[in-house]
Structure 1
Amino acid sequence: MISNIAIVSHYSELGHIQDCLKRMLLKLRLENWHILLVTTFINAESKDWCILEKIDFLLRANQGRDFGAFQAGLRHYQKLKLFVDCKSLILLNDSVYLRRDTHLTSWDDFLKGDSDSVIGITDSFQNGYHLQSYALNIPEIVFNSHCWLNFWKNLDITTSREIIIQDGEIGLSAMLLNSGFRIRALHSILATRRLAASTQFNDWMREQLAYNYCQVVIEYFHSITCMSSCFLNPSHQLLFPLLFDGLPLVKRDLLESNSSRAPDPFLLAGSIDWFDNDELVTFLKPPIVQFKQPSFIQKILKSLYNRSIRLQR
């Protein structure tokens, strides 16, 4: 009998399972979660590791991003009738880093879930209110409902990234609310904004960072004070107060490219044991940075120099 199922979306061009993802999967196994890793490619070493650790894996076509993986995993286990005795379902993706100090976070609360509510780690008002889909805990009353089954049956994963986000991530929360189900974020954006302005958070920042760096972080939060919550991505722009509040998962794209120009959580890595340097080597996918190209004048000067050398010879 399987009572807890975790479907994890995975993508790697090399087919490897990142070290930090292995750590997260092993934590789930220790908590008696039955895991299905849904991926587009997995190499021989990773297959052997999954077999050794009793983790199922499923290959799928590279369509639909995370929601394509979730759809494939749900359909696969539905065919095998593994949801008959299931009480809790978790959907996770591999684009998040699980903090090493999980005992100081809301990770256990996330795994525990809620018998009558879909639980997310964070929520957002961007383009419509929704739970951010990198981590969702769904109770039995929801994943056995007709509206849940119909949502995944009818979801088109062959469209563009923008439409998949709108119809998938945002559409899922809208469907749940319209069907009368409750959804709840462990770290809501409204509570996090209040926390960012609190003396408690600001005092904590002063304990962690030197004065100059602390001022930079505080000034950043001052700069977004007048922004509507509808325009904020909390898992990026409110990351520091979220980490202070016990956020267990950090999104990879913030660590890699940080398009929101939010304070870098690595600033705190020296004083708090959140990250493992060795794990980050296989986790991060740094963007390709173009090397500086010589200017037109430099090219002319180099050409003249090479010509003078040839004449001297």
Structure 2
Amino acid sequence: MTRKSRASRSPRTALLTDGSVDQWSPVLRGWVLGVENPLEPLEIAIMIDGIEACRTRCDLPRPDVANAGHGTGNCGFAVSLRELVSDDLPHALEVVDVGTGETIFRSEALVVVHSTWPNNGSQQMLPGTVRSESGSWESFERRVASGRRVAIVATHRTEGASELGVRRLVEALSSADNAVLVVDTSPAASSDALGADFLMWRENLGWDFASWATGLERLGDLAAECDHLLLVNDSCVGPFGDLGPLIARGQSLGVDVWSLTDSWESGHHLQSYFLGFTRSALGQGVLSDFFDQYPFPKYKEGVIEHGEVGLTAFLDERGITTAAVFEYFELVASFEKSLDPRLTRFADSTTAALMRKHDPDYQTVGYRSLVATVEDLEMRVPLNPTHHFWRELLDQGFPFIKRELLVADPAGRFFASDFADVVRPLLDEGDLELFRSEFARRPTARIVDAR
């Protein structure tokens, strides 16, 4: 950090200023405007430990400020603190309007600007340290150079859990011509690379987005040279079948970034368990830019807000086009078309008696959950498609089932009889073995024995 004299405080005090800082590490972002003349861009000084580190003009677009009625909203600023100081030491941070000398922002606590990862306070944390690596990075680079397609897989298995699921996923991604990089946060390192071209084992901090960021940092400039890059996690069981046609289907959407499913919970967003980035997006550096401002939340709620929902919002702001292979409202339409025969099925006493043999709550709980879904749709309540419309997804070629659906069934929509009637016919013996290994230690293990 170059040390300069303290920001001058000129007598232009008649022009009062207003502003806010939204983020302060590693990129300092916010807005500042003059209350009496909001159309005039102001200049601010960034003070670190009482010393002026740099000045910048506040003229970046801020639609939120414009929507609040404050001029055109061209009053934003963004300064990379890593370019000023990144010594992993605490510093006092202050933002000052050069014209009036007013302090716009002063950090209540000392701010640490890390050389690699941001840390924005008590609710946020650094991604875990990489403890070991498996595989040949040179071989991985050669495969990337030949195919220009990469998949970064974030995985975490509890102690004693089977590796079969992640190995199956890695094998399918590799067979679809992707160089596969696994970032593993399991309690113990695998004995090999889980079938991937390269594996990084790190501390279990920061959730999936931190694992993807770790993989992207390891990729470095290779990411921008790829024709296609996948970010995938292990939250699904599967795939059941080849992934190549499904990935091609995503690329055929003609957008910059695609997902398998989208959701309207907490605002429209691509669901992040399977994301595809095309060359047009990678060439613009959207992933590195996103992670430069990502706060790495400590809790799951923050990951959903800043990661899953926040990523789509970030892409929208950048003008990056997005779409889902299995679009939400198409799934809703398919669900509504199949509704009448399914309600009739509940009313059929013979069928209901058969279902109760496998699940005593099938008729009462199943019927209520189905009706509840209909009522939610009528009231336009956004639903999670992987929980509520899993049947429709399978019918349309979706090759996964969410683990959470099988383990917790938050929507009350999956029963033992569903596995026997709908899922089991889709599986070969290898798929069935995958189910057994994944859920042998869990209460829902009974589903694989349903006939």
Structure-1-length-normalised TM-score: 0.77
Aligned-pair CA distance for 1:211: 3.8
Task: Specify the alignment match of 2:152 in structure 1.
Answer: 7
CA distance in 2, matches of 1:20, 1:136: 19
Mapping for residues 228-247 of structure 1, pairs under 5 Å: 228=377, 229-247=380-398
Structure 2 equivalent of residue 302 of structure 1 = none
- Match in the other structure for 1:225: 374
Go from structure 1 to structure 2 and tell me whether the alpha carbon gap of 1:201 and 1:288 turns closer, same or farther (over 3 Å shift): closer
Alignment of 1:59-138 (within 5 A): 59-78=201-220, 81-102=221-242, 107-110=246-249, 112=251, 114=253, 116-138=255-277
Per the TM alignment, residue 184 of structure 1 is displaced from its structure 2 partner at its CA by 0.7
- Superposed CA deviations along residues 205-246 of structure 1, whole A, max 9, x for unmatched, are 97xx98435x95677444322314543111001111121122
Q: Could you tell me how far apart the structure 1 residues matched to 2:388 and 2:394 are? A: 12
The alpha carbon displacement at 1:163 in A equals: 1.0
Equivalence for 1:296: none
Which SS does the other structure have where 1:13 is aligned?
Answer: coil
Contact map agreement 1:110 1:137 (CA 8 A) in 2: no
SS for the counterpart of 1:121 is strand
**CA distance, structure 1, for counterparts of residue 230 and residue 341 of structure 2:** 34
User: Deviation at 1:86?
Assistant: 0.7
Partner of residue 251 from structure 1, selected from 402, 411, 416: 402
CA contact (8 A) 2:172 2:239 kept: no
* 2-structure distance, mates of 1:218, 1:196: 15
Do the aligned residues in 1 keep the contact of 2:250 with 2:325 (CA within 8 Å)?
no
Are the equivalent residues in 2 in contact too, given 1:4–1:32 (CA < 8 A)? Answer: yes
1:271 equivalent among 405, 408, 425: 425
Measure how far apart 1:84 and its partner are.
4.4
Distance 1:85 1:16, change over 3 A: farther
- The structure 2 residue matched to 1:48, chosen from 170, 192, 212, is 192
- How far does residue 286 in structure 1 lie from its aligned partner after superposition? 5.7
CA shift digits 1:169-203 (9 cap, x unpaired): 00001111121111111111111111112159959
CA distance in structure 2 between the partners assigned to 1:218 and 1:244 by the alignment: 21
* Partner amino acid, structure 1, of 2:168: R
Query: 1:269-308, aligned counterparts within 5 Å?
Result: 269-273=423-427, 276-284=431-439
Q: SS of 1:231's equivalent?
A: coil
2:94 matched residue in structure 1: none
SS at match of 1:226: helix
User: Structure 2: 5+ residue runs without aligned partners?
Assistant: 1-144, 356-361, 445-451
Is the 2:226–2:279 contact (alpha carbons within 8 Å) kept by the matching residues of 1? yes
Partner residue of 2:313?
174
Structure 2: distance between partners of 1:39 and 1:152: 19
Residues 118-127 or 18-27, more deviating: 18-27
Structure 1 residues not aligned, in runs of 5+: 290-313
The AA in structure 1 aligned to 2:373 is: I
Deviation at 1:114, TM superposition (A): 4.8
Contact 2:181 2:198 in 1 (8 A): yes
Structure 2 contact 152–215 (Cα < 8 Å) conserved: yes
- Greater relative contact order (Cα 8 A, min sep 6): structure 1 or 2? 1
Q: Alignment partner of 1:100: what SS? A: coil
The change in CA–CA distance for 1:201 and 1:282 in structure 2 (over 3 A counts) is farther
Max Rg structure:
2
User: 2: CA distance between counterparts of 1:115 and 1:47?
Assistant: 40
Choose between structure 1 and 2: higher strand proportion. Answer: 2
- Counting matched residue pairs gives 280
Q: CA deviation at 1:63?
A: 1.6
Return the alpha-carbon distance in structure 2 between the equivalents of residues 29 and 227 of structure 1. 40
1:164–1:43 Cα change, 3 Å: closer
Question: Helix, strand or coil: the match of 1:29?
Answer: helix
How well do the aligned residues superpose, as a CA RMSD in angstroms?
3.3
Higher helix share: 1
